[in-house]
Structure formats: structure tokens, C-alpha cells
Amino acid sequence: MYSRLYAFLFRYWWLTFVLMGVCFVLFGMLTLNLLHTLGANLEFLGMHGVDAVNEGGLRQLGGLIVSGYLAAVFYVLFKLCEKVLVERLAVVKKGSDS
């Protein structure tokens, strides 16, 4: 048994295709340079300690973590759309035994 979201995406395949493209772009934008920036932030916090916290290092670290989770959400939505579209393409209609 599939969810209502899955059934909706399966029914409106063109919308699923558009959503998949949007999720792909947003995932790419959010993950672009994310690990490098996260590493630089952790290095900044480690080297400068309390001064880095006063300059907003922890706030930036929190924003980077939120960006990582948001990117994961877009990736999961991308994979859901991919699954729906692949299953829709693989469905054999009754009566077409060629």
C-alpha cells in the first residue's frame, strides 16, 4: 500500500518530473561547497575558541547543519520522484501483450 503522496505523484507524472528537477537543482545548490565550508567553520572554531563564538561561529555552524538536513530532504524527494517515474515507465498495461 502506497501513501497518498505516492499515488498523487504517480497520477500526475509530469508534475513529478518537474518536482524531481527542482529537487535536483536545490540539492545541488545546498550541497555545493558545504563540506568545505563546514570544515573551515570547525577549524575557525577550534583555532579561535571563544572569539569565534562571539563572532558568530556557532550560528554559522547551526546554519550549515540545517542546510545539510534540508539538502537531505531534497535528495529524498528526488529519489521518491525517481522511483515513481521508473515504476510508471515499467508498468505494463493490461491487454497489451506484445
Residue 17: pLDDT over 80: yes
Please give the single-letter amino acid code of residue 12.
Y
Burial class (CB in 10 A: 0-12, 13-18, 19+), 16: buried
Q: 2 pLDDT band (50/70/90 cuts)?
A: confident
pTM for this model (two decimals): 0.82
* Residues 69-90: tens digit of each pLDDT: 999 999 999 999 999 999 999 9
Radius of gyration of the chain (CA): 20
CA 31 to chain centre: 9
Residue 32 main-chain phi, psi, to 5 deg: -60, 115
